Structure 1
Amino acid sequence: MEHPTLFEPGEPVLERVREICARFPEAVEVESWGRPTFRAGKKIFVVAGAMMDRPLSIVFKPDPEERPALLELPGVFVPPYFGPSGWLAIDVGDDADTDWAFVAELVDTSYRQVALKRQRVALDAQAGDARDAGDARDAKAEQHERGERSARPAVSSGTGGTSRSRAR
């Protein structure tokens, strides 16, 4: 027996969840049980739609230490099937009540719980690149506000400086 499809094509909440999940290295979307699942390789890190009567929700794997505190929050609940293994679910919607930054943090934690080491390394590198780009933008904006000319970027030939691989 085939599971009924939980979401209509173009559902705005699902599109938002897809946006968040697509940012993770090697993340893929696979439909299972009539709902989209998001996986790090073969391992699920998010299921869209915890149950038929609560479709606007996601199932995620929390950090075990954070689980008790998360259960105290409104909209967080233990989902059927996944709950006994420590997973939680949270209601999400396209209204102003959904804190999408918080949802993204939950998805990040869930991804890290199931991802392979190489996937976590890639995620950390991706976060570092974004942080470095943000720092550079912030510094350039501060310079502009002070009316300073931006310094010419340093060009490295690759031969200067010190290297850890160099013989001592």
Structure 2
Amino acid sequence: MAHPQMFDDDDPMLERVRSVALALPGAKEKISHGRPAFCTVKVHCYYGGALKVDGQWEQHPQAVLVHLPPSETAALAEDPRTFAPAYLGASGWIGVDLDARTTDAELAELIEESYRRVAPKRLVAELEDRA
């Protein structure tokens, strides 16, 4: 059974995430479990997430889920905008709620760092060559 779409294609925050995530070498978008996922060989970020609180699903529709180095995840977990997303949190992923205060630089830093952890070495090298 396919998951229902859990995002609005016209969401301006999704457009911000797309512009960063798809600008990375070899990146493409797919739908995974009803949400946008950005990947090369492996997913480097998701848009939107959820977690269970007291047996109920708490949705975070305008969030980016990223896989950062453990030290960065631990430091970021102190930020009240973050959460451990369902299913992925146990594997080291962290969710960051996005809002108008989220800068483009912060968004790019989160997504690019996650990309560097999972993208093939040749694509990471291509990203480095762009800098």
Fold in common (TM above 0.5): yes
**Cα deviations by residue, 1:103-151 (Å, 9 ceiling, x for unpaired):** 2101111000001110111000011xxxxxxxxxxxxxxxxxxxxxxxx
Q: In the alignment, does 2:34 pair up with 1:34? A: yes
More RCO (CA 8 Å, sep 6+): 2
Mapping 1:95-134, distance limit 5 Å: 95=100, 97-127=101-131
Percent identity between matched residues is 40
CA distance, structure 2, for counterparts of residue 21 and residue 9 of structure 1: 15
Structure 2 match to 1:48: 47
CA RMSD in angstroms comes to 1.2
Task: List per-residue Cα deviations over 1:4-58 (Å, max 9, x = no partner).
Answer: 2111222111111000101110001011111110002x20000110126211101
Is 1:70 the counterpart of 2:69? The answer is: no
Where structure 2 has 5 or more consecutive residues not aligned to the other structure, the ranges are 51-57
The runs of at least 4 aligned residues of structure 1 exceeding 2 Å deviation read none
The one-letter code matched in structure 1 to 2:7 is F
Q: Which has the higher strand share?
A: 2
Offset, 1:100: 2.6
Mapped to 2, the partners of 1:32 and 1:113 lie a distance apart of 20
Find the counterpart in structure 1 of residue 54 from structure 2: none
1:152 aligned partner = none
Q: Hey, what does 1:11 align to over in structure 2?
A: 11
1:84 aligns with 2:90: yes
Greater gyration radius: 1
For structure 1, which runs of at least 5 residues remain unmatched after alignment? 128-168
| Number of equivalenced pairs | 124
- Residue 74 of structure 1: how far off its partner (Å): 2.0
